[in-house]
Amino acid sequence: MGWNVAGEVGETMTAPAWFQRDVSEGDRGGDVWVARKLLGCVEGRDFDLSVTAAVRGAQLRAGLPVTGVLDERTAAVLGDPGWAVALPSWWDGPVGPGSSPEAVGAVSRALGGPVTYRWTRALERAVRRAQGQHGIAPTGRVCEETARCLQVLPEAPGRLP
């Protein structure tokens, strides 16, 4: 049994596959990255004031309680695009300097060298080599295309926007 937008039981509205938890200002993760995309926010990694404002606007338009917290009902209103399927919790956009240890570790494991959890010049060089081998512009940062080639992100029916 689901709910309707107003929260009344009976409808079959459910949270989208990308929704993992309630998120609010200060949170990071794959779900925040997806929410930023769906809300039309500038590319970024954090649930910041701009995301809070966008969530409040979406809640207001949908007739939901305006809290600024991205909860199940708000996520359901945002929808479930094919490109957001099965993103790991650590994916919050391109991986490079400043990325989480979990994200850096996933990339270094995929490259087959020594596993590291801190972005280094050696890891950047390995990423550039892998990008060149896959015909991707060698930026040294792990964009969505590079992450899929390295198989640290699952294949999705569509491309990320």
108 and 73 in one domain?
Answer: no
142 and 69 in one domain?
Answer: no
> Is 0.85 topped by the overall pTM?
no
C-alpha–C-alpha distance, residues 86 and 97, integer Å: 24
Q: At what angle do helices 121-133 and 101-111 cross, to 10 degrees?
A: 50
Closest CA to 80 of 143, 13, 146, 152: 13
What pLDDT score was predicted for residue 64?
A: 94
What pLDDT score was predicted for residue 111?
A: 94
Structure confidence by residue, pLDDT tens digits, 36-67: 989 999 877 789 999 999 999 999 999 999 99
What pLDDT score was predicted for residue 7?
A: 53
Q: Pick the last residue of a domain from 26, 50, 81.
A: 81
What pLDDT score was predicted for residue 125?
A: 96
116 and 47 in one domain?
Answer: no
C-alpha–C-alpha distance, residues 76 and 17, integer Å: 9
Q: Would 131 be classed as within a structural domain?
A: yes
Q: Would 92 be classed as within a structural domain?
A: no
What pLDDT score was predicted for residue 19?
A: 86
What pLDDT score was predicted for residue 76?
A: 93
Token pair for residue 134?
A: 């896959």
What pLDDT score was predicted for residue 157?
A: 46
69 and 107 in one domain?
Answer: no
The residue range of the domain holding 116 is 101-149
C-alpha–C-alpha distance, residues 79 and 132, integer Å: 35
What pLDDT score was predicted for residue 18?
A: 82
Low-confidence ranges of the chain (pLDDT < 70): 1-12, 85-87, 154-161
- Phi, then psi, of 123 in degrees rounded to 5: -65, -40
C-alpha–C-alpha distance, residues 71 and 39, integer Å: 14
What pLDDT score was predicted for residue 85?
A: 64
57 and 9 in one domain?
Answer: yes
126 and 62 in one domain?
Answer: no
CATH number of the domain to which 13 belongs: 1.10.101.10
Q: Would 96 be classed as within a structural domain?
A: no
The 8-class DSSP code of residue 142 comes to B
110 and 74 in one domain?
Answer: no
6 and 67 in one domain?
Answer: yes
The 8-class DSSP code of residue 45 comes to S
- Phi, then psi, of 70 in degrees rounded to 5: -80, 100
Q: How many domains does the chain have?
A: 2
